[in-house]
Structure 1
């Protein structure tokens, strides 16, 4: 079973409503995604991988958040500091390339509360030519949420 089949299997198994939107090639920015999908930028949900020493976390942020304050996020997790994981680390940890990281992750997750303002959010499937549309509440069913970003 490939990663997309695995994602769809879990979504169906958990009874999560979803839509997979196909497109040519990767969507590289929140602005590009919002324009292509005809949605508000805050509905885009990029998934980032962060590192605190030898621990890793995923952060699913709202596209309208702008730059994430890593110091505040580290404090939220009770860690001294956080850094962005390297593209190689992201691939090793998640199985996904930077830019198409799935919204279903094998890492403890931090979820941006801003996403809950919208009925649907749009993020990665693990494949660069598709986008996942789900309810933000579904993130809590798909992931081990350990903190919320205000």
Structure 2
């Protein structure tokens, strides 16, 4: 688990195009997020439970609600669902909803729709900070096991 300072150092060492944005309250809704960034560029990191273990899904907010039936079929999984909150904390050290775009150490599914944006916005591991980063850096620094369109 990386602190925000460790995440910043890691991103600097890897020549990423990023900014860490601080806010006074956690972002709990799209309305909250709109005060800080374009919500169409939001990239939540969802932690999914599969029969092969946990996997992070870095997705575009434009995708809307995740269709797990279609996604598991497309990727060849037999089972797929959102991991429960306690499992997320136990596996990553981060609270569900605050899992960082980079640094969670899980195999990752990456939504190629994110590459349409100059920057995307997602978690840092700290609910009071948001990461603005080039999506190509998110793809490059995660252990991508699947790319989806």
**By the TM > 0.5 criterion, same fold?**
yes
Report if the CA contact (8 A) 1:30-1:63 is conserved: no
The runs of at least 4 aligned residues of structure 1 exceeding 2 Å deviation read 29-32
- Unmatched 5+ stretches in structure 2: none
Distance 1:21 1:149, change over 3 A: same
Report if the CA contact (8 A) 1:44-1:121 is conserved: yes
Deviation at 1:29, TM superposition (A): 2.6
Instruction: Give the alignment's Cα RMSD to 1 decimal.
Output: 1.6
Specify the SS of the correspondent of 1:147: strand
Specify the SS of the correspondent of 1:127: coil
- Unmatched 5+ stretches in structure 1: none
CA distance in 2, matches of 1:29, 1:117: 23
Aligned to 1:87: 85
Aligned to 2:46: 48
What TM-score, normalized to structure 2? Answer: 0.91
What TM-score, normalized to structure 1? Answer: 0.91
1:5-42 CA deviation, whole Å, 9 max, x = no partner?
22112101111121000001211134431x11241x32
Distance 1:5 1:38, change over 3 A: closer
**Mapping for residues 26-37 of structure 1, pairs under 5 Å:** 26-33=26-33, 35-37=34-36
**Mapping for residues 2-21 of structure 1, pairs under 5 Å:** 3-21=3-21
CA distance in 1, matches of 2:107, 2:82: 15
